[in-house]
Chain A
Amino acid sequence: MIELLVTVFSATFFVTVIRTTTPLLFATLGGLISDLSGALNVALEGMMLIAALTAVIVSVYAPWYVAVLSGVAAGAMLGALMALFHLRFKADIILVGFAVNILATGGTVFALAQATGGDKGTSINLQSKAVPAVNLSFLEAIPLIGPTLKALLSGHSILSWLGVFMVFAVWYFLFRTPYGLWLRGVGEYPAAPEAAGIPVGKVRAWSLVASGALAGIGGAQLAMFNYIGFTRDMTSGRGFIALGAVLLGARHPVGAMLAALLFGIFEGLAVVMPNLFNWIPGEIIQTIPFVVTVLALILFSYRAQRALKTRAQARA
């Protein structure tokens, strides 16, 4: 137990948590945007997976940033595809989302085999690149806290820093710009923006595209930093955890970040625990993030209901 505490309160663990949180954070922000526009994006999982593979394959031939952008583009295009089917052809958004997920599981294995010349499991024989880490070693020069600062802040993916910025950017967009107002209005009561001449369908379509793009960055981070290279089904439920994190984060960007961080911590634990407790089967440890998701959602909805009750009583 002591060993676990020592591990958890180490700078290395902090760095691990940031790493595990980053893909989740992007997916959560993506889920948040489409959820607020009134279109529940259950395809985050598939979007991340396809973006991850796209980024890996492109990175073989192009610099890392082009690879990340191509992952983003892949996610955005899937978002546009969902918008097309849901808004133009009036298909149910949940069904369209699952179609994307199913397409992703099968399609990525097929594309992987094509790209690697037959390997259906990993991209190990592709020379894929990584997203660079941001080196802040100069912080060490600061007296006293320098070394700690360096240990905590240096070595994160450049995308992790982008993630922190995106939380702010999404918040600013949603609550400080007219278009954010439109988006939230469309999600809550579409008849109102419709009557005000706002193109409701267009707003939803762009939210799905943005949602896909964000999930795409998450996928790129996963396959170009957390792991280098693609493994089949490597997203392993992160897209669904992100959906839970949207609700747990009370549909607010900062809440979304905190929720993503919570799940990141437990994923981090699942990474370090097998070394400490080798008597616990690894499979059980790997279920921890998912069990926590379920528990957190139960707790959240219980607390939300109670808050509703106390508020109602306070008013009466």
Chain B
Amino acid sequence: MTMSDDDLRARFAALNDSVTPLERAASQIDRAVVRRRRRPAVVGGTLAAAAAVTAVSVALLPGLNLPSLSSGTASVTGDTASYASSEPTMDGEVGFVPIEVAGRTVGEWASAADAVVVVSAHESTPDAAVTEVPWHRVDAPRVLDLDSVPLDDDGALALGTVAGLPSEVPLSPGADYLVAIRWDAVRCDGEASGWVTLGDGAVLAMSDGAVRAESSAEPGALTGVPADPDAEVEHAFAALSGAQVGDVLDTLDLERAADLCG
């Protein structure tokens, strides 16, 4: 027997009418809205100031291989490889290029980043593969979709290759890093839209699945409470997992920063 589209629609239609809110639902929503409004006010000046410094041209950090980006830098395996060289903006392909929007503070990550990813440095080559996407902005224009990406030969998720990490963050072979990235739809350098890393501060070394803390006494931000947008990420995120960092960013709920060249 073939299950037609109409059969499927009927199944979903039955499901669609299966639950209803109780009377107290609306008041619970009201309280949730009030709690969210009490969080710190959004201050958009930080990123705007950074953008003003960089003017209309995005200066790229040393060591960046732009030609390889435009031709597709991602080392994507499996069925995504077929479009890797021609359409660098497709999902599953990540050509990271750092932009001059600093990522030093929690507020800069919360407003400028569209996603936070974990990358693992390769053992034998000077690049890294995205292995996890702990957080997206809820209104991100694109999402990195792990489900669309096949496993690589080692059985690990292989989204792509990070080709342009800031030079001041040397990759240690085999180490993991937490990186703030952004979907840059309007590129100042005329390149096709794509994923870029934020600038200084956007890469944090990880250890045992958490952002590395310089000392054991260094406290990370408390998840679930409004974070300080001016706190430096290397301190605020110390000892937090990628998912916990996402929780901290969610507490701010900052408006997404406009594209530099939009």
Say if A and B assemble together.
no
